[in-house]
Amino acid sequence: MDVNSEKVYVAGHNGLLGKSVRKLFSERGYELELRSSLDLDLRSTGHVFEFLSRSRPDGVVLCAAHVGGIGENDENPLEMHYQNSLIQYSVLNSAYRLRIPKLIFVSSAAVFPASSPINREDDIWTGTPSKEHIQYASAKISGMEFVKWVREKHSLNWISVIPTNIYGENDRWDETRSHVIAALIMKFVHAQAENLPSVEVWGSGDSKREFLHADDAATALAQAYSTIELANFDRFNLGTEIDISIKELAIMIADSCGYLGKLVFNSNKPEGPKVRKLDMSRTNRFIDWKPRIKLKDGIVKAALAYRETTGTSS
């Protein structure tokens, strides 16, 4: 099928990753089906099924999720599980009933066992996810198992992609629901503007993570979608193969925001697994892709976007 004739429904097109996916898929000539949360409640199976029945897309990219940082996951775990389960079931079950031929479900690296420093796709059932993320992770695992079942039993080209921590200019600038890079950018921009002597950073700072810019993640999803018929597995990791400690990350962000004060690491706050790094062997055999945006460059762009959003001068 010619790329320009394919219709793709991007669920969650106004989110951090969804905005990048929408832009890139549009540039590559796909006809996009888009509905905002005001027009379509993804938690309603009836509404989603009716929409997909009418639009009949050739494929779905499910980026939509109820997300939050480690604090939100720790404070409201059942809400994380409930909202994500509703969204996933509505979209996945509707797409299954209509036998939509292509689908990419965007999962999360939170699904992996907390005790495993190098995470391979088949490690998911070998241990327990981080206690701070277990409810969110359990919902995501459920979605991945749905995808696996549909792929195996009905021979549809469905896969799950498991990205590491995604960040970018369209991040969630929210004090209670932001992820680590957005949270630190907000803290350091505010501290620099107010000339505060110190900034608190959650955790010891020793934990190590990978960080992937949303535009790079979208490029990988587009590549995976275009060659999805060649996928030999139901799930693929998506990481950078380069990790960094939270302490190094905080220093990098402080520097990018022009903050010169003291960083105070609070070990009493949750910080998740000590190490989380994704094995990319399977993905590297599936798609020809490497991230191109360096972490420091991406942080500078994200910090500038936040300043523009809030009208804060540098």
3-state helix, strand, coil in the chain (%, to 5): 45, 15, 35
22 pLDDT higher than 50: yes
Q: Give the separation between CA 166 and CA 186, rounded to whole angstroms.
A: 16
The alpha carbon torsion through 281, 285, 287, 290 (nearest 10 deg) reads 40
CA 250 to chain centre: 20
Question: What is the tens place of the pLDDT at every residue in 76-97?
Answer: 778 889 999 999 999 999 999 9
Report the distance separating Cα 133 and Cα 77, nearest Å: 7
Report which DSSP code applies to 42: T
Domain locations along the chain: 3-168+211-241+277-292
For residues 266-279, average pLDDT? 89
| More confidently predicted of 3 and 239 | 239
Tokens (6 digits) for 121 = 């796709």
| Dihedral sign (CA 119, 125, 129, 134) | positive
Instruction: Give residue 72's pLDDT band: very low, low, confident or very high (50, 70, 90).
Output: low
Q: pTM of the full predicted structure? A: 0.93
In the prediction, which pLDDT does 123 show?
95
**What does DSSP say about strands 59-62 and 7-11: parallel, antiparallel, or unpaired?**
parallel
CATH classification number, 3-168+211-241+277-292, choose in 3.30.450.40, 1.10.287.1080, 3.40.630.40, 3.40.50.720: 3.40.50.720
Which of 110, 98, 114 has its CA nearest to residue 142? 110
1 has pLDDT over 60? no
d(CA 159, CA 75): 31
pLDDT at 191 over 50: yes
pLDDT at 59: 98
Catalytic, out of 89, 136, 225, 259: 136
Q: Is residue 278 over pLDDT 70?
A: yes
DSSP codes, 197-214: SEEEEES-S--EE-EEEH
- Is 259 among the catalytic positions? no
Looking at residue 91, what is its pLDDT?
97
Confidence of residue 313 (pLDDT cuts 50, 70, 90): low
The H-or-E segment that residue 243 falls in is: none
Give the distance, in angstroms, between the CA of residue 31 and the centroid of all CA atoms in the same chain: 23
| pLDDT of res. 233 | 97
**pLDDT value of position 2:** 45
Q: What pLDDT does residue 78 have? A: 83
If you average pLDDT over residues 251-266, what whole number do you get?
Answer: 95
Per-residue pLDDT reduced to its tens digit, 203-255: 999 999 999 999 999 999 999 999 999 999 999 999 999 999 999 999 999 99
Query: Shortest CA distance to 241 belongs to which of 286, 288, 295, 278?
Result: 278
d(CA 229, CA 115): 34
Average pLDDT over residues 169-178: 83
Rg (C-alpha) for the chain, rounded Å, is 19
Burial call 269-302: b when 16+ CB within 10 Å, e when fewer: ebbbbebbbbbbebbeebbebebebebeebbbbb
The mean predicted confidence, pLDDT, of the chain is 92
